[in-house]
């Protein structure tokens, strides 16, 4: 067993916040000593990949898939068209690619090892599961420590487990869609994920089943110099509906941490998938994620995305509108504080007649933070009756704040309807002064103005998330005035 040196544990009581969302930046900033049974060591090589596959006792085809992906990753150059300066700070030779206490997730919280259980208890996951979730998966570093689904949902035929279990117990479903929405060679970081992926959620909802309560995954990075590479695949069969929520936290370290996930969604005819993310990584985390869904005839995929923490986030959820009357939507909020770059956006690829896409993005830049919207909408000439609406609004808090907008909307043909609107504004000094005259402090007035800016989007988040998003914005605004 490898004994990892970690920061001493702390005993302060956690704040009264929504722990499932993990969106109070203070709530995730703690760490416990953990003894790892499986440790791939530092650095990336063929031996690293073989170790991961061997520990997981994977089928030969999976190891072959991983090794081909490793070669693709090594052959592909680092992206140079944007965020180059930030990406140069990633040293792949110093990252630890696999750490785990065990392979099989526990079905009750009492079975979870104490040093891991106290992390999730402090974050409040068991309590939130009892309150409003149909199922929970809690991943600690490389593997799920806990995974459970309510009996009433399981009896409907819904499958909810981690990717390791899915490959072993449901290969006929998993393999059919795995890597089909996001190919290994899509980009350098999707190739990296394909080589070393571990954990993540697998969900299959049978035809016509509508899951009444959300399914939740919580991703926790505990170790320093670590890379988390979960792989999530969600399939909603014909007429099925599901809501999936994920929360993310990590402690603050002086060294860089890498999070590089791949998420694939498949909504078959008439199905609906809603995927909600509240990201609150510490500001040493490079968050480089590839997320994409395929919507078939009359299907709908909706991404609701909130990006608060991390040093650099590069994330552009996308929808391929493959079937007639398919609908895709991305609703995103990004908040960039000092030392942070939120490079986020959306991709909408129309591939059938009468398809509809909506992109609404709002960003807030505080201090010397930088927020970037990067979007792509593609409607080819041979299609008819497609619609797109793109809105990008940015708010600057200080004179050194920065925002950039790069919309790429390509429309061919004359039967489509496309709208694009973008705005950049600063907090109105007269408005702040007016609120101060009504008894608010300058910081309170600033928070009120910012919350008003994002309020129409926050209302689309579940109640537990929307309340805490507003609270987090208040915390982010502290000390930002001036």
| % of the chain beyond a pLDDT of 70 | 80
User: Residue 252 — pLDDT band, cuts 50, 70, 90?
Assistant: low
- Residue 293: phi and psi, rounded to 5, are -130, 155
Angle at 26 between CA 445 and CA 432, to 5 degrees: 5
* pLDDT for residue 127 is more than 80: no
Question: Dihedral angle at the C-alpha atoms of 78, 80, 83, 85, nearest 10 degrees?
Answer: 80
Per-residue b or e along 455-474, where b marks 16 or more CB atoms closer than 10 Å to that residue's CB? eebbebbbebbbbbbbbbbb
- What confidence tier does 481 reach under pLDDT thresholds 50, 70, 90? low
Could you read off the pLDDT of 233-249 as tens digits, one per residue?
999 999 999 999 887 76
Q: Are 182 and 262 in contact (CB under 8 A)?
A: yes
Q: How many CB atoms lie within 10 A of CB 400?
A: 13
Cβ–Cβ < 8 Å for 294, 37: no
Please say whether the beta carbons of 379 and 412 come within 8 A: yes
Residue pLDDT, tens place only, 416-468: 999 999 998 887 777 788 888 888 887 778 777 777 787 777 777 665 555 55
Which helix or strand (DSSP H or E) is residue 444 part of?
Answer: helix 442-458
* pLDDT at 9 exceeding the cut of 50: no
449 burial level (CB within 10 Å; 0-12, 13-18, 19+): middle
Output the CA torsion 282→293→151→228 (10° steps): -30
The predicted pLDDT at position 21 comes to: 32
Element of type H or E holding 135: strand 135-140
Task: Answer for the pair 28, 93: CB distance below 8 angstroms, yes or no.
Answer: no
Q: Three-state SS for 121?
A: helix
- pLDDT attached to residue 406: 92
Q: State the pLDDT confidence band at 251, using cuts at 50, 70 and 90.
A: low
Mean pLDDT, all residues of the chain: 83
- For residues 1-8, give the mean pLDDT: 29
Q: How would you classify the pairing of strands 241-249 and 257-259?
A: unpaired
Mean pLDDT for the stretch of residues 38-42: 88
Identify the pLDDT of residue 452.
77
- Per DSSP, the residues of 301-367 read EEEEEEE---SEEEE--EEEE-STT-EEEEEEEEEE-TT-EEEEEEEEEE-STT-EEEEEEEEEE-T
- What pLDDT score was predicted for residue 254? 63
On the question of pLDDT at 209 being above 80, the answer is yes
**Stretch 406-414: mean pLDDT, rounded?**
92
> 60-75 and 188-196 helices cross at what angle (nearest 10)?
150
Handedness of CA 202, 123, 279, 87 (dihedral sign): negative
Helix axis angle for 125-132 and 114-123, nearest 10°, is 60
Contact 359, 348 (CB under 8 A): yes
pLDDT in tens, 346-358: 999 999 999 999 9
Give me the mean pLDDT over the 377-394 stretch. Answer: 95
Give the pLDDT score at 372.
93
Confidence band of 10 (pLDDT split at 50, 70, 90): very low
| Confidence label for 30 from pLDDT (cuts 50, 70 and 90) | very low
Of 299, 304, 349, give the one whose Cα is nearest residue 324: 299
CA distance 63 to 58: 7
Q: pLDDT value at position 401? A: 86
User: What is the pLDDT averaged over residues 87-100?
Assistant: 89
* Beta partners for residue 238, in sequence order: none
Residue 272's pLDDT band (cuts 50, 70, 90): very high
Q: Please report the pLDDT score of residue 124 as a whole number.
A: 64
- Residue 1 is predicted with a pLDDT of 29
CA 281/CA 310 separation, integer angstroms = 5
Q: Report CA-CA distances (Å) from 472 to 111, 208, 281, 306.
A: 33, 38, 13, 11
The pLDDT assigned to 329 comes to 97
Cα separation of 169 and 159, whole Å? 10
Residues sharing a CB contact under 8 Å with residue 131, sequence separation 6 or more, in sequence order: none
- Looking at residue 5, what is its pLDDT? 29
Contact at 8 Å (CB) between 359 and 373? no
Q: Which of 10-14, 98-102, 341-345 has the lowest mean pLDDT?
A: 10-14
More confident residue, 13 or 133: 133
* C-alpha span between 263 and 244 (Å, rounded): 12
How far, CA to CA in Å, does 342 sit from each of 147, 293, 306, 335, 469? 31, 22, 11, 7, 17
Please state, for a pLDDT cut of 90, what percent of the chain lies above it.
Answer: 48
Q: Where is average pLDDT lowest: 47-51, 112-116, 141-145?
A: 112-116
Of residues 251 and 53, more confidence is placed in 53
pLDDT in tens, 253-263: 667 889 999 99
pTM of the complete model: 0.86
Confidence of residue 29 (pLDDT cuts 50, 70, 90): very low
> Where in 250-311 does DSSP place strands (E)?
257-259, 262-267, 272-280, 285-295, 300-307
In the predicted model, is pLDDT for residue 24 greater than 70? Answer: no
């Amino acid at each position: 067993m490898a004994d990892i040196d970690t920061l001493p544990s702390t005993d302060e009581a956690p704040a009264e916040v929504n722990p499932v969302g993990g969106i109070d930046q203070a709530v995730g900033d703690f760490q416990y000593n953990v003894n790892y049974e499986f440790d791939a060591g530092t650095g990336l090589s063929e031996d690293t990949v073989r170790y991961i596959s061997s520990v997981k006792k994977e089928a030969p085809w999976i190891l072959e898939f991983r090794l081909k992906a490793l070669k693709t990753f090594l052959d592909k150059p680092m992206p140079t068209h944007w965020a180059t300066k930030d990406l140069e700070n990633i040293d792949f030779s110093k990252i630890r690619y696999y750490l785990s206490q065990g392979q099989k997730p526990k079905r009750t919280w009492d079975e979870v090892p104490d040093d891991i259980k106290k992390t999730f208890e402090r974050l409040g996951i068991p309590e939130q599961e009892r309150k409003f979730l149909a199922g929970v998966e809690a991943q600690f570093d490389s593997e799920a420590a806990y995974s459970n689904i309510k009996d009433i949902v399981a009896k409907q035929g819904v499958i909810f487990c981690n990717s390791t279990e899915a490959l072993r117990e449901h290969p006929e479903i998993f393999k059919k869609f795995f890597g089909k929405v996001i190919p290994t060679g899509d980009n350098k970081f999707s190739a990296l994920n394909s080589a070393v992926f571990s954990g993540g959620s697998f969900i299959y909802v049978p035809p016509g089943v509508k899951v009444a309560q959300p399914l939740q995954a919580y991703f926790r990075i505990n170790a320093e110099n670590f890379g988390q590479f979960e792989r999530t695949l969600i399939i909603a069969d014909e007429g099925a509906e599901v809501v999936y929520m994920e929360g993310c936290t990590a402690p603050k370290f002086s060294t860089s941490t890498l999070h590089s996930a791949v998420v694939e969604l498949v909504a078959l005819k008439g199905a609906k998938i809603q995927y909600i993310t509240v990201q609150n990584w510490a500001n040493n985390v490079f968050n480089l994620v590839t997320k994409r869904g395929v919507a078939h005839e009359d299907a709908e995929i909706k991404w609701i995305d909130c990006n608060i923490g991390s040093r650099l986030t590069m994330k552009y959820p996308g929808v391929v509108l493959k079937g007639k009357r398919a609908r895709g939507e991305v609703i995103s909020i990004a908040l960039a504080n000092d030392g942070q770059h939120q490079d986020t956006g959306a991709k909408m690829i129309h591939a059938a007649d009468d398809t509809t896409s909506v992109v609404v993005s709002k960003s807030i830049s505080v201090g010397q933070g930088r927020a970037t919207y990067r979007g792509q909408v593609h409607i080819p000439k041979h299609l008819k009756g497609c619609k797109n609406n793109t809105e990008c609004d940015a708010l600057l808090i200080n004179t050194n704040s920065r925002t950039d907008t790069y919309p790429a909307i390509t429309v061919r043909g004359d039967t489509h309807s496309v709208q694009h609107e973008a705005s950049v504004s600063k907090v109105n000094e007269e408005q702040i002064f007016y609120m101060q005259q009504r008894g608010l402090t300058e910081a309170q007035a600033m928070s009120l103005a910012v919350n008003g800016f994002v309020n129409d989007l926050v209302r689309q988040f579940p109640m537990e998330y929307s309340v805490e998003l507003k609270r987090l914005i208040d915390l982010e605004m502290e000390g930002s005035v001036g």
